[in-house]
Structure 1
Amino acid sequence: MTKVDTAPEAGTAPTRQDRPVIRPLWASILAAALAGLALLTSFPPYGQWWLAPAGVALLALAVHGRRMRAGAGLGFIAGLLMFAPMISWTNIHVGNVPWLLLSVLEAGYLALMGAAYAYAAPLADRRRWLTPLLIGTLWVAQEALRSRTPFGGFPWGKLAFGQGEVPLLRWAVLGGAPLVTFMVAVTGGLVATAALTVLRRAGDAVPSKRFLAPVAWVAGAVVAALAGALVPVARPAGDPVTVAFVQGNVPRLGFDFNAQRLAVLDNHVRGTLDLAARVAAGQEKRPDLVVWPENASDVDPLNSQVAAAQISRAADAIGSPILVGGVTDGSTPRNVRNIGVLWWPDRGADLDQLYVKRHPVPFAEYIPLRSIARMVSKEVDRVSRDFEPGDRPGVVDSGATVIGDVICFEIAYDGLVRDVVTGGAQILAVQTNNATFNTAEAEQQLAMVQLRAVEHGRDTLMASTVGVSAFVGADGHVHDRTVFNTAAVVVRDLTESTATTVATRLAYWPELVLTVIGLGLLAGAATIRLRRP
């Protein structure tokens, strides 16, 4: 079976740009499958960032010239092969059904994008220079929709989250994750345009002319990929602040990690006491702030005298405030809250410096449509009390510095991180608990921390119960990364910043503008289709 890319309009002679590109359906399916695998491999734990533009190009080549339903199917194939392995950590302890449903849902957004590109391909054929722009803006629009729907969205797998410490990441300082995604997709779009040009010029009589334009498109892709190196990253210029994180580890991985809740708390207390002993011996600098991870105290630190006494013991020993991750009662007996609270030596919890997680994870920290969800998987009953969301950003004043606190998956959401920076945060802290997942999930989350550090020009840290924990500079470089499932305590000097980057000031505008451009190109394609006989 074959598919003809384009046909000239009635009454016109075929032009080079209208010359049909004939390829069998199996070739498009193969290209879509390779696209999904390339996109997957660009993310941690593989970290082959250069495969992201290659995956974008392969998917564009697979879809170009196909009907909308074929474009949707090809996009779905790529999406499923990308997302199913990427988020396989979601099935470690809850079974395959939730993992497969989430994978199918996420792949559906790539199917929608594939249909949109197939619909808009006639515009790209007539105006070849629009092809990379079309591809770039459709990727941004797809990620914008996927990050918001349903139940607040699931931004995992944004192209921007796989760029590590490479030049493309630097675009984040100008336009955040949307601009990084756009530049990655444009790079792939330029490669796809080169390939389409080669296919259409295969019959040219003059070989030198046959490949001149494709070489130019490839050169453009190289420039797009490397131009980010010219974008200056923000350099914090404030006062130094010494920060420690404690990765206490847990008795056992999995959902039952907190069956011995006091043991988890004891691990973090012990790590802090060991640090205090090293400080007293002159082996370590006394930190201005100690950060414990999410769920470091699943014994309610605000209502349990035992937990409060343990935390106070650690704070008194180190002589510095501790940002404690804990779980406490909610506003009703049916609810709980995921919190970060500042704990002072001598005086305990500071309820004025308490952050409640604003974006609980659906089907993990709260169960929407519980009765229906139970029919899919009885694992939903593990969440017996729903987490209720907070109503203000996590801006915590420790005296020595102002911390922007985000908890776990919140690091994936553009607005939640931006809110703490505009609220006055001078450094960023990500409290997370990876005890129910694996190393791959932790490394994917750390890549998001790298992007946020560059985007907002803030020195940042990620503290996990089991790892991976690390410090990340405002330039995106990772320091003092820990080993997964191992106890660790690390101290490092960070530099405060009160400046705001272009990305912070522009907020959601880059994403909005790029999405509107993509919709405008779709409207242009509709005009062409309506004018065809």
Structure 2
Amino acid sequence: MTDTMSAAAQQTSPAPSRARLLPVAGLVLAAAASGVLLFLSHPPRELWWLAPLAFAGLGLVLHGRRARAGFGLGLVFGLAFTLPHLVWINDFLGAQLGLAPWLALSTIVALFAALAGAAMAVVAPLRGGPVWMAALWLVFETARGAVPLNGFPWGRVAYSQPEGVFTSLAALGGVPLVTFAVVLTGFGLARLVLAVADRARGRALAIAALAVVVPVAAGGIMWPFIGTASTSGTVTVAAVQGNAPNVGLDLLGMRDVLRRNHLAESERLQAAIESGEQPRPDLVVWPETATAVVGEDPGLDAMVEGFGVPALIGALYGRDDGKSENAVISWDPETGQDGRYAKQELVPFAEYVPLRPIAAWFTPFLDNTADMRWGSGPAVLDAGEVRAGLAICYEVAYDYVLRDAVRDGAELLVIPTNNAWYGPGEMTYQQLSMSRLRAVEHGRAAVVAATSGVSAIVAPDGSVLQETGLYTPDSLVADIPLRDTTTIATVVGAWPEWIIIGAGLAALLGRIGWRVRGRGSSRGSSGRAESGRSP
């Protein structure tokens, strides 16, 4: 009899193993699918509503999981998002360095999602779990934008929302509030599905429903307060896109080509103005590093004098000490160079190389490059009668740059960028979405001037009024409202972010403390029970 039972157990033992593996495989696939949804929610697709669905999927996956499982599932979610979202890095570095930079950066970004997954799994059982989970996602998204090496704030959840119901919340609490609202809605949807499946009623169902309804309603309520009209006049701005060859890293040795292209497009624009095909601008904008400037520059003097109006020239600026800056120079048609702003947030391993001796083991072109010098804010320049707030390329991903500029009186936003390095993929559209969100956040129109596209004129409500194509010479000329009012987000700054982060960390620490005390109490009870037994 015993032998028969043993044989039967051997025959049936594989089944429980398969039963355990199937749910794990399903969870991993669901986490990956949710990460792909988050990727698909980002531009150039106009599918902003997929972002909350992505977090609804993640919320369902994390339900009932421990921190260790949350870490693994969060990592899968993060990789499924970052790998396709950042694939454009291969257009920049792939030919020389292979897939390593793309895979390394994607993994680092995904690790923050993994840490968030572990933390969110801990607080999920709490009453109001979706709130604490969304707050903890913001904790790790903020951390990713700060460390290491000044962080990498690209791909924040809010950047999937240049339009849609949540966009208006940028004017209330900035980019962090938009992220929080999207993630909260998603986790609220997950909790609502679970509550309905469990046939829950009363408070549990109400909390889940509120987590969905409140962020959506708040976004809808805010839209009528998004101002677009001029409050301090208008200005006609011309954004010049000279174009650049699509050669990735080899563009480093082609600065003369960039200069010639932008001078040629400026000449075409001047001819169109003289013929009446285009209106005469009050301000001309060139993209990031469209030329090199060392000392006096008669060629640019003549170009700006030909327009007869001030210009903001994106340039690799050579300083007197031999160092260089990624700068924007205010150029007056009569007096020439009239002030400059140097980029504050340089791109690591591109505009400067940290840990250079170690980086030399992996990077073949260090001997031919030198670190650029950091600038300091606020990022504003006066160009004629216009006070412009500037964010050079990568800087638009950081909250403080344009916030400080608007606080210092900027009436419009100017974002010069050089996206020619990154090929015809999604990178330039991802960056444009950031500029659109910044316009709403600070109630300012934005001028995006890109070497090879996409250049755009953005209204204060984030809508795109004009845009160019990729890898083509072109110019945009448009009347833009100047505004001197301030949004709540500009005034309160980072306070909403820190309040949400504080709440999330308090919930996490409280939950951990409660569990530690519970374990200690359980051990004490067990010990007393043992000592009370008779020998």
**In structure 2, distance between residues paired with 1:242 and 1:276:** 14
Amino acid at match of 1:290: V
Larger CA Rg, structure 1 vs 2: 2
**In structure 1, distance between residues paired with 2:212 and 2:16:** 29
**In structure 2, distance between residues paired with 1:448 and 1:491:** 21
Question: Any stretches of 5+ residues in structure 1 without a counterpart?
Answer: 4-21, 202-208
Question: Of the candidates 100, 104, 116, which is equivalent to residue 113 of structure 1?
Answer: 116
Alpha-carbon distance, 1:462 to partner: 0.6
Indicate whether 1:260 and 2:257 are aligned.
no
Alpha-carbon distance, 1:516 to partner: 0.2
Per-residue displacement from partner, 1:448-502 (whole Å, max 9, x unpaired)?
0011000000011110000001011111101111101111111101111111110
Alpha-carbon distance, 1:266 to partner: 1.7
Indicate whether 1:403 and 2:388 are aligned.
yes
Indicate whether 1:343 and 2:336 are aligned.
no
Q: How does 1:148-227 map to 2 (within 5 A)?
A: 148-201=146-199, 217=208, 221-222=212-213, 224-227=215-218
Q: Is the 8 A contact 1:238 1:496 kept in 2?
A: yes
Task: Report what 2:314 is aligned to.
Answer: 325
Task: Report what 2:302 is aligned to.
Answer: 313
Task: Report what 1:9 is aligned to.
Answer: none
Task: Report what 2:456 is aligned to.
Answer: 470
Alpha-carbon distance, 1:78 to partner: 0.5
- SS at the partner of 2:467? coil
**In structure 2, distance between residues paired with 1:406 and 1:263:** 24
- SS at the partner of 1:122? coil
Task: Report what 1:204 is aligned to.
Answer: none
Alpha-carbon distance, 1:222 to partner: 5.0
Task: Report what 1:25 is aligned to.
Answer: 24
Task: Report what 1:52 is aligned to.
Answer: 51
Amino acid at match of 2:193: A
**In structure 1, distance between residues paired with 2:56 and 2:365:** 39
Q: 1:493 to 1:71 in 2, by over 3 A?
A: same
**In structure 2, distance between residues paired with 1:212 and 1:367:** 54
Q: How many residues align?
A: 494
Per-residue displacement from partner, 1:363-408 (whole Å, max 9, x unpaired)?
1111101122222x22452761111101222211112210111100
Q: Is the 8 A contact 1:242 1:491 kept in 2?
A: yes
Question: Any stretches of 5+ residues in structure 2 without a counterpart?
Answer: 1-14, 523-535
**In structure 1, distance between residues paired with 2:92 and 2:143:** 29
Alpha-carbon distance, 1:446 to partner: 0.3
Per-residue displacement from partner, 1:42-87 (whole Å, max 9, x unpaired)?
1112331111111111112212222211111110111011011101
Alpha-carbon distance, 1:194 to partner: 1.1
**In structure 2, distance between residues paired with 1:64 and 1:294:** 46
Task: Report what 1:66 is aligned to.
Answer: 65
Task: Report what 2:12 is aligned to.
Answer: none
Q: 1:142 to 1:327 in 2, by over 3 A?
A: same
**In structure 2, distance between residues paired with 1:330 and 1:80:** 41
TM-score, normalising length: structure 2: 0.88
Amino acid at match of 1:221: V
Alpha-carbon distance, 1:329 to partner: 2.4
Per-residue displacement from partner, 1:7-34 (whole Å, max 9, x unpaired)?
xxxxxxxxxxxxxxx9922222122111
- SS at the partner of 1:167? coil
Amino acid at match of 1:91: N
Q: Is the 8 A contact 2:123 2:129 kept in 1?
A: no
**In structure 2, distance between residues paired with 1:23 and 1:498:** 59
Task: Report what 1:10 is aligned to.
Answer: none
Q: Is the 8 A contact 1:325 1:341 kept in 2?
A: yes
**In structure 2, distance between residues paired with 1:172 and 1:219:** 21
TM-score, normalising length: structure 1: 0.88
**In structure 1, distance between residues paired with 2:403 and 2:185:** 27
- SS at the partner of 1:449? helix
Question: Of the candidates 518, 527, 533, which is equivalent to residue 504 of structure 2?
Answer: 518
Per-residue displacement from partner, 1:243-289 (whole Å, max 9, x unpaired)?
00000001443222253322211211122222222222222221110
Task: Report what 1:276 is aligned to.
Answer: 270
Indicate whether 1:302 and 2:291 are aligned.
no
The farther-off stretch of 236-245 and 170-179 is: 236-245
Alpha-carbon distance, 1:35 to partner: 1.4
The farther-off stretch of 520-529 and 96-105 is: 520-529
Q: 1:370 to 1:455 in 2, by over 3 A?
A: same
- The two structures, once aligned, show a CA RMSD in angstroms of 2.3
**In structure 2, distance between residues paired with 1:511 and 1:490:** 36
Alpha-carbon distance, 1:514 to partner: 0.3
**In structure 2, distance between residues paired with 1:347 and 1:446:** 33
Amino acid at match of 1:229: G
Per-residue displacement from partner, 1:112-153 (whole Å, max 9, x unpaired)?
001101122332xxx2xx122112211211111111001101
**In structure 1, distance between residues paired with 2:459 and 2:392:** 19
Task: Report what 1:13 is aligned to.
Answer: none
**In structure 1, distance between residues paired with 2:91 and 2:264:** 29
Question: Of the candidates 407, 413, 420, which is equivalent to residue 398 of structure 2?
Answer: 413
Alpha-carbon distance, 1:345 to partner: 1.4
Amino acid at match of 1:234: G
**In structure 1, distance between residues paired with 2:114 and 2:145:** 16
- SS at the partner of 2:404? helix
**In structure 1, distance between residues paired with 2:184 and 2:90:** 33
Alpha-carbon distance, 1:523 to partner: 2.3
Amino acid at match of 2:110: A
Task: Report what 1:6 is aligned to.
Answer: none
Identical columns (%)? 40
Alpha-carbon distance, 1:181 to partner: 0.5
